[in-house]
């Protein structure tokens, strides 16, 4: 299987070539067509499987099409929630790499550092926000982030969110984002609380 056979657009194919990716991993082969069809996804996958590219590549493609239709729309269109600063930075770097030939903006926000530069970056407008839950809620509550126009929501490493005690923050964020959206849910394991959460936030998901 080649990335081209997944109907990925040329600028992203070029970027994947630069990354040295010759073919999609199994999770990418399965997830990319589902996400491009705008369906919800429940992915049972660990780090190291190519999970980040499995959601980042089709998200960039969807947002690139939307950008062409509405070039001046500066609202946050996609949110990726992830439990740690390290993961957030890695995901941001992946969007930078796969989207290097596109004009899609992305910003990463996490706690444990002063918020000033994150707030300044948000003021310029951003298409994709990658965030840890606590800092995101802080910034939402201060009025620096508006999630009302979100179209794509990714919950990454849901089981670790639970282990690290972030699940209530995650639930609060889910309450403030639009109900009508595409949701991608990833977890390495599926304990009962995570299964329940997935049922409340996904609509007819495809499972991978």
The residues that touch ligand AMP, with contacts defined as CB under 6 A, are 21, 24-25, 28, 47-53
82/198 with CB nearer ligand AMP: 82
CB of 54: closest distance to ligand AMP in angstroms?
A: 7
48/114 with CB nearer ligand AMP: 48
Dist. CA 20–CA 131, nearest whole Å: 27
| φ/ψ of residue 27, rounded to 5 | -70, -30
17/199 with CB nearer ligand AMP: 17
Dist. CA 203–CA 37, nearest whole Å: 14
Q: Pick the closest to residue 1 from 31, 35, 44, 37 (CA basis).
A: 31
CB of 82: closest distance to ligand AMP in angstroms?
A: 11
The residue with tokens 């800092």 is 135
Cβ–Cβ < 8 Å for 139, 117: no
91/202 with CB nearer ligand AMP: 91
Cβ–Cβ < 8 Å for 134, 171: no
CB of 50: closest distance to ligand AMP in angstroms?
A: 3
22/72 with CB nearer ligand AMP: 22
Structure tokens at 78: 């996609």
Q: Pick the closest to residue 42 from 148, 163, 174, 190 (CA basis).
A: 190
């Amino acid at each position: 299987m080649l990335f081209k056979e997944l109907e990925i657009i040329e600028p992203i194919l070029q970027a994947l070539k630069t990354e040295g990716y010759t073919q999609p991993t199994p999770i990418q082969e399965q997830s990319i067509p589902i996400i491009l069809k705008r369906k919800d996804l429940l992915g049972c996958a660990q780090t190291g499987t190519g999970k980040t590219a499995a959601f980042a590549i089709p998200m960039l493609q969807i947002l690139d099409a939307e950008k062409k239709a509405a070039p001046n729309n500066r609202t946050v269109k996609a949110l990726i929630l992830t439990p740690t600063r390290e993961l957030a930075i890695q995901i941001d770097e992946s969007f930078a790499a796969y989207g290097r030939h596109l004009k899609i903006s992305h910003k990463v926000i996490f706690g444990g550092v002063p918020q000033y530069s994150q707030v300044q970056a948000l003021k310029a407008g951003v298409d994709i926000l990658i965030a840890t839950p606590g800092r995101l809620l802080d910034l939402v509550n201060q009025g620096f982030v508006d999630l009302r126009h979100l179209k794509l929501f990714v919950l990454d490493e849901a089981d670790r969110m639970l282990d690290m005690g972030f699940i209530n923050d995650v639930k609060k964020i889910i309450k403030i984002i639009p109900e009508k959206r595409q949701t991608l849910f990833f977890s390495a394991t599926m304990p009962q609380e995570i299964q329940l959460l997935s049922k409340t936030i996904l609509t007819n998901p495809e499972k991978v």
